[in-house]
Amino acid sequence: MILFIFLARARRNLGLRVFFVSILYSLFLNFFVLSNRTIREEFYLTTLSITTIIEFFLFSYLFSRILQSLFFRRVIYLITVLVGIYLAYEFITTPRDAYDPIPSVASFLIILIYCIIFLYEKITDTSVPYFYFTSTFWVVVAIIVYCAGTFFALVYAKSYLESKSKSEYDFIHDSLYIIKNLILVIAIFSTDSTATKLNGGRNTLNKYT
Amino acid sequence: MILLQTDGGISGIVLLGTMGMLALAIGMIIFIIFHQRKVIRYQMQLQEMEEEQQKLLLNASIRWQEEERQRIAADLHDDAGPLLATARLYLNENLVHQDIDTQLQSIYNAKQIIDDTIQLIRNISHSLMPPTLKNFGLESAVNDLFQKISGSGMLNASCRFHDYRERLRPEQELLIFRVIQELVNNILKHSSASFIHVTQNYDDKRFFIRLHHDGKGITQTDFEKLNKSAAGLGLKNIQSRVKVLRARIEFEKDISKTYFKVTLDIPVENMELIA
């Protein structure tokens, strides 16, 4: 039912669509891959690396569509290509039984920078003052809170794995995952039409959203 | 509590780092929301001010229309009415019982009065829409107006249209003419100027009319102040006409500080030429 509501709302907003895909992927991963107790650690670590790559491309796509400045969009395309090459290289060269958090940290950092650029762009555009009523704003807030909150845990992810205290990492990650989902609920129930109405009929975002 | 454990010596750092990052992220979001609210408040204030200004302009326009109607009504009632009544007296029913000389004299007097009435009505009509403006355009109408002013000997009024080959649409010409007329009127009433000079120029981007005078003038700040106050009906009329023209008007003192100038600037895209 939640997925159905999400899907219904996601049809109207690109940010929600991206999250919908991301959540579907997480569900698939959790139910069909990671729930398997006999899963080997190499496979688990490989899944993490693939998830990082998929999330990075998904969010890069989202920001490349919602940013209005052509310059920043071009910068995102360039960064996506460069970081994509780096992530692919890391994925290929890193041994399957080892986990290197640098690609995840780098991709989280870049996504945080995208969020800051997006918010800066919106804050300087005074023609759309009711921006915080939009779904996209809350989607970006969810991304910021999740990326900023899990950033340090991710930096020390290798230490967690080595010290075998994964539950601590899970606690931080899962708490922020819940917070992210709660913020997404706000995003789902924020209607862009309210913001557009308050802005006197002007679209609050660019034509792609 | 699990985060407070020091297993492996990393929990403290992670906890602090996570809290710090979260605080930064939440702080940034709160700042953005508050900033947006501030922008909204500011824009609402601006909107209110704009609405207030619109209301003032509308009131001024209505007042001006009422005054114009009253003037026309007074002209018709005080001048045309008595003239026609007098003509009627000359042509009353007793005329047929009069001798032929008296009849001719009465008819002649009535004709004179009717001619005067025609002239009076023509004057009223000309004050509503100058015939020179209608027939020959803005340049001729301004020339005509300035010749009349110069002819009075009060001050020297001249104008020069540098590039007015294609006429604007009559409605736009009338609006520009009324703005010039109002400005000249104000100069005559308040400035004690010894000369008025109007120039017209036209380039790729704009059409502008500049009026210079050496009397007591106003600057843009004074104009805006007067526009916002209840006084200054003429200036509000100028402002509303400028708005209809989608033009810009600027009142300034010349760098030499010897004379004042007013520039009416109409962007080319807002100009409507006669096809």
Among residues 20-59 of chain B, which lie with CB inside 8 Å of chain A? 20-22, 24-26, 28-29, 32-33, 35-36, 39-40, 43
Cross-chain Cβ contact B25/A156 below 8 Å: no
Q: Which stretches of chain B drop beneath a pLDDT of 50?
A: 1-6, 8
Cross-chain Cβ contact A148/B24 below 8 Å: yes
pLDDT value for B4: 41
Q: Which of A119, A151, A152 is nearest residue B32 as measured by Cβ atoms? A: A119
What is the rounded CA–CA span in Å between residue A87 and residue A58? 14
pLDDT band at A165 (very low <50, low <70, confident <90, very high): low
Query: Contact B242/B232 with Cβ under 8 angstroms?
Result: no
Name chain B contacts of A152, Cβ cutoff 8 Å. Answer: 13-14, 17-18, 20-21
Q: Is A128 left (phi over 0), alpha (psi -120 to 50) or beta?
A: beta
pLDDT value for B62: 82
Q: What is the CA radius of gyration of chain B?
A: 32
The residue with greater pLDDT, A104 or B96, is A104
Query: Contact A29/A47 with Cβ under 8 angstroms?
Result: yes
Cα–Cα distances (Å) from B166 to A197, B200, B202, B258, in that order, read 44, 13, 11, 34
Q: A36 pLDDT exceeds 70?
A: no
**pLDDT over 70 percentage in chain A:** 78
| DSSP letter for each residue of A129-161 | TTGGGSHHHHHHHHHHHHHHHHHHHHHTHHHHH
Nearest residue in chain A measured CA to CA from B21: A148
B18 at A interface, C-beta within 8 A:
yes
Å from A148 to nearest chain B CA? 5
Strand duo B260-267 + B195-202: pairing: unpaired
Name chain A contacts of B21, Cβ cutoff 8 Å. Answer: 148-149, 151-152
> The tokens 């600057």 sit on which residue?
B219
What is the rounded CA–CA span in Å between residue B266 and residue B246? 7
What is the rounded CA–CA span in Å between residue B24 and residue A128? 24
Cross-chain Cβ contact A148/B36 below 8 Å: no
What is the rounded CA–CA span in Å between residue A101 and residue A99? 6
Q: What is the ipTM of this complex?
A: 0.78
Q: At B227, list the tokens.
A: 């526009």
B2 at A interface, C-beta within 8 A:
yes
Q: Note the pTM of the prediction, 2 decimals.
A: 0.60
Q: Out of A55-59, A70-74, A197-201, B168-172, pick the least confident.
A: A197-201
Amino acid at B62: I
Query: Contact A160/A169 with Cβ under 8 angstroms?
Result: yes
Name chain A contacts of B39, Cβ cutoff 8 Å. Answer: 126, 129
pLDDT band at A201 (very low <50, low <70, confident <90, very high): low
